[in-house]
Every structure is written in structure tokens, then in C-alpha cells.
Structure 1
Amino acid sequence: MNAGQWEPFVDAEPVREHLRQVNAAGMSYRAICERLGFAQDSSLQHLMWGRGEYGPGQQVRRETAELVLSYWPSLGDFPDGARIDATGTRRRIEALAVRGWPRHLMAKQVGMTETHFRKASGRERVTARLARGVTALYDAWWDQDPLEHGVPLGSVSRVRADAARSGFRSALAWDDDTIDDPSAVPQTDAAPAGYTEGENVVARFLMGESVIIDNAGRREVIAHLMEWTQDTPAEIGARLDMTGDTVSRAWERIKRKARDEGRKAPWRRVYVPLRDTDLTRDDMRSAA
């Protein structure tokens, strides 16, 4: 281009490559034409593939190039059935699990069975419809306490424990600019929540809030996690800065105290894998 001289055409290859990337993201060429306001879905024929014996065009109008190169689809642009990268959907589901939201409730909210939801969200690509549903759910629930919405404490604790074992990241690790980006890494240096006081301290501790619990609270946490989760004594101890042996002894004292008071002793109510070698015969008889 000569200085001061307007060039109505530019190199077509960067425009073609950008269109290929948009298409690879899940947008069909027909949908791209619709979003960009092209007259018909064949408008890109000459640019992308050429016509007849003529190959793809070597140049494209500057206005067209600027329009195409400035476009990248938002989630709302994709047709419902478009298959898009699942990274953002997966991260949102995991962040909700860290909060304690069970997947069966997530599935219900997006209009799917839990089995179908797990399979669909576990793939490398998901439909735009599912991605939009999970995004709306995440926006509504990411800072909500499941306990305040009627989700049982036992269910919340199990979901949180599974999320911790799986290394899931909370909503604090992402922002709107990074959560959908496969190349983005979580922000692990976010400031932890400050210590707080007040009511329901044990429940808040189990939810992951940084609260101070006394010895009675520790016993309550041990009783709950040993009875209602698959966590081993060592895993529970890690949460309480205790050894697994200390947790096991506390669990035995809790059961003995219940029997001494004429109450039914608590027992492990969920399937416990063989890795939990601290199970006693008493637990196994009760579970049977």
C-alpha cells in the first residue's frame, strides 16, 4: 500500500484462518454468516473454498476483513446444538461442587437426568444449550449456601469432601475473563476468608468457612464426617490438624458415650472403600 493511497483489498489468508478458528470453536459457517449479517450462507464460498476451477480468493475487501477479524462468538451466539469447548462448563460445575451443591440438583435445574448430565458434562465438548444452562446456574448459585436452600448437611458434606479429594477449584479461582479459557490457570493466591464467629460454627466449618471451633465442635465434626462421609480418619484429621489415630480414638469415645447414655451408637452410613483400614468390627456389623 502506497503512503496516502487507499487500498480497498487486503490479504485474504489471515481472514480465512480466523474464520477456521471460529468454526473450530463450534460455529458453523452458516451461523457465522447469520451473526455477521452476510446476505446468504454462501457469502464465504469464494473466500474459503473458491468456485469452480478457481481456488480461494487471494484478496478480500477491507471492510469484510475488518468485520470478520473483529468477531469472536460469545456464548449467546452459538446455536443450541453447537458443540463447544467444555472447559468453562466443567469449571463451573466443579466450583459449585466445592460450594457443596450436589450434581443431581444441578441436573434438575438444567432439565436433565443426573446420569445424562454427568455424561454430557464429562465430554471434551458440550452443547451450547448445556453450557448456557450451567452458566446461568453458576451465576445464581456460586455464592449461595446450599444449606440455606434446604440441601441436607450430610449431602453438602459429601459433595464438598469429594470436591476436595478431586482437587476442584472454587469460584474464587476464576473470573469472567478466565473461566472459559482452556489456557488459563486458577488463581491460587486469593486471600483466604477471615476468621469469624457466630451461630452454626460447625456447619460453617464443614462448608469450608475459616471459623474457629472448640473441642466440642471438633468432636461434632468428627462424628458427622465419620458417620456421613467416606473420609478416612487421616483425611478428617488433615482438616482438623489432627492425626488419623486421634480421630479414630475420638470416634470410639463418641460411640462409647452414646451407648453409656442409652442411645444408639452412630455408625458409618455410607459405603467405605477398603482403603479405610480403621473401620472396626462394630462399624461393619452396624452397616450390615
Structure 2
Amino acid sequence: MAVRSASARWQVRRRQLVAAGQWEPFVDAEPVREHLRMVNAAGMPYMAICERLGLAQNSSLQHLMWGRGKYGPGQHVRRETAELVLSYWPSLGDFPDGARIDATGTRRRVEALAVRGWPRHMMAEHVGVDESHFRKAVGRARVTARLARGVAAVYDAWWDQDPLEHGVSQHAASRVQADAVRLGFQSALAWDDDTIDDPAAVPLTDAAPAGYTEGEDVVARFLMGESVVLDRSGRREVISHLMQWTQLSLEEIADRLEMSPVAVSGTWERIKRRARDEGRKAPWRRVYVPLRDLNLNQDDMRSAA
């Protein structure tokens, strides 16, 4: 009985929205398809994406990405599916062990530990790989997710620890630190958890970043079209605003901020994750439907709600 009642209410709502010209259960599939390609390019296999999002690979993903038989990829996708996919960006824990992901965060963690005086052979030992393999791997553009997670765990444990208190000799620590200075490595204090994996991020140093526009309402001035240069905090504010309150695609936002779409998407995911970690409601990607020829009385509005 309850199911029939709910179905009847849904049908009433559907008829009212159709009459108002607002019944649009499907949206353009191309932005969703492009986002899935970006997630896959970041190292996430399509099967793993489906598992994380609860999508059926043999139906939903097949229809969306490749089509079937003589039919090409779908031109439209359900709004609920689009919002689910567009709001997703994988965290380090999402990737399968063998997935090859961007090595930026891994390399920065290794370098930060070197600034502290930690030798690489100890890092390799704790990660569980051969030292020569470890040295080669962290110098490449991509590493396996397993290695990245191992390095992240070592970094979390050691970034604020004195290696001398863990069996490292003064001579060895000093030599590692000297090499780190010579190579221009950044310490752990130059990064936080929100930026260390972002290829577009720059390290925080004691000196104020040069070139940023000063004054009040810089973000608002940027959004209004004024030619200003944003700092990292300002970029996060702009990304949060544009992702929540406009229909601009990731590519359009990235172009406006002179960033890569991957960096924009990663920043958006970190904004949402930080909100959840702080107990706040996470922002979400709104999809607007314009009000067209809306002419409903109160009873109609109540039925459509």
C-alpha cells in the first residue's frame, strides 16, 4: 500500500513537472563520460570505478562509455547517475594495489623525509621493497598505488620524528640532509594533506608568495571578471563557488583558472572531504533546471513537491 501511494505521488509530481516544462530526468552524457575518462587516466580502472560507485559495468558503464553493437555511446544519462559520477574523485585508498598513479605526492613525501634526515634505504625497508627498486620507482612519473600507500604510511609515522632516535647515525642523517638541501627538497612543513598530492600545488615557505593580487574582495573581483591573480586559498574559493553555483564544466573552470582539469577536480574533492572531516555539510555539484512557463497554483505546487 505504501509503495503504491509513493508511486502515485511520484506520478503526480511527474505530470506537474511535464506540464510546467521542467521534466528532465536525463542530462547530457558527454561531461559524465569525460569525467570518467579523467578518473581512469588518473589510474583508476573502469571496473574499480564501478565497484566504488555501485554501477553495473555490463549495463550502465557499457551504455555510457562505449555503447553496444551498432549503437554508439549513449547521448543522455540519468540525472542521478550524472551527479554520482561527477561528484567522485578517487582517494589514495580507492586505487587497486597495481594501479599506476601520479607519483607527485610519493616523491614529495620521500623528499620531505630526506630533509628530516631519513635515508632512503630505511624508507624502502619499511615499505617492503628493494632499495634499488625504490629509488627507481620514486623517480618515475607514476608509481603503483601499493607503493604510494606504503610511502604515505611511512611519511605519516616519520615526518615529525628525529631519525637519530630511531637508529640513524649522525653522519648518515647529515649526509642525507646535505643532499636534500643541494637538490632543493621541501620539508614536510611546506605541504599539508590537502596539497601534497596535487601536481599544481606549490610549497608553502616562510616568504609570502610573489605576484598575488592584494586588497579586499579579491575572489569576488575575479568572479566579476577583473584581472587579478589568486593565491591558493583564493583558487579554492573560486573552484568551490563555480562548482556549486554554475554549470561550467571542469574544463571551462580549469581554463578560467589556468589549471588542469585533474587539478580542479582534485581540489574540489579535497574541499568536500575537509568539510566532512570538520563535521560540516559537504558542498555538492548543483545542476540547475531553468524555470520555464511555470504556472502552478498552491495545490499543484504542493503535489509536485
Q: Is the 8 A contact 1:13 1:58 kept in 2?
A: yes
Q: How is 1:15-164 mapped onto 2 (pairs within 5 angstroms)? A: 15-41=32-58, 43-164=60-181
**Per-residue deviation, 1:51:** 1.2
Aligned to 1:175: 192
For 1:167 and 1:98, how far apart are their aligned partners in 2? 9
**Per-residue deviation, 1:113:** 1.3
Higher relative CO (Cα under 8 Å, sequence separation at least 6) belongs to 2
**Per-residue deviation, 1:41:** 5.0
TM-score, with structure 1 as normaliser: 0.64
Q: Is the 8 A contact 1:98 1:168 kept in 2?
A: yes
For 1:42 and 1:159, how far apart are their aligned partners in 2? 53
| Corresponding letter in the other structure for 1:180 | D
Percent of aligned pairs sharing the same letter: 84
Moved more, 102-111 or 113-122: 113-122
For 1:65 and 1:142, how far apart are their aligned partners in 2? 39
Q: Count residues with an aligned counterpart.
A: 191
**Per-residue deviation, 1:40:** 3.6
Q: Which runs of 5+ in 2 are unaligned?
A: 1-16, 209-305
Q: How is 1:179-194 mapped onto 2 (pairs within 5 angstroms)? A: 179-189=196-206
Q: Is the 8 A contact 1:33 1:41 kept in 2?
A: no
**Per-residue deviation, 1:67:** 0.6
Q: Which runs of 5+ in 1 are unaligned?
A: 192-288
For 2:91 and 2:168, how far apart are their aligned partners in 1? 33
Question: Which structure features the higher share of helix residues?
Answer: 2
For 1:132 and 1:106, how far apart are their aligned partners in 2? 12
For 2:168 and 2:23, how far apart are their aligned partners in 1? 65
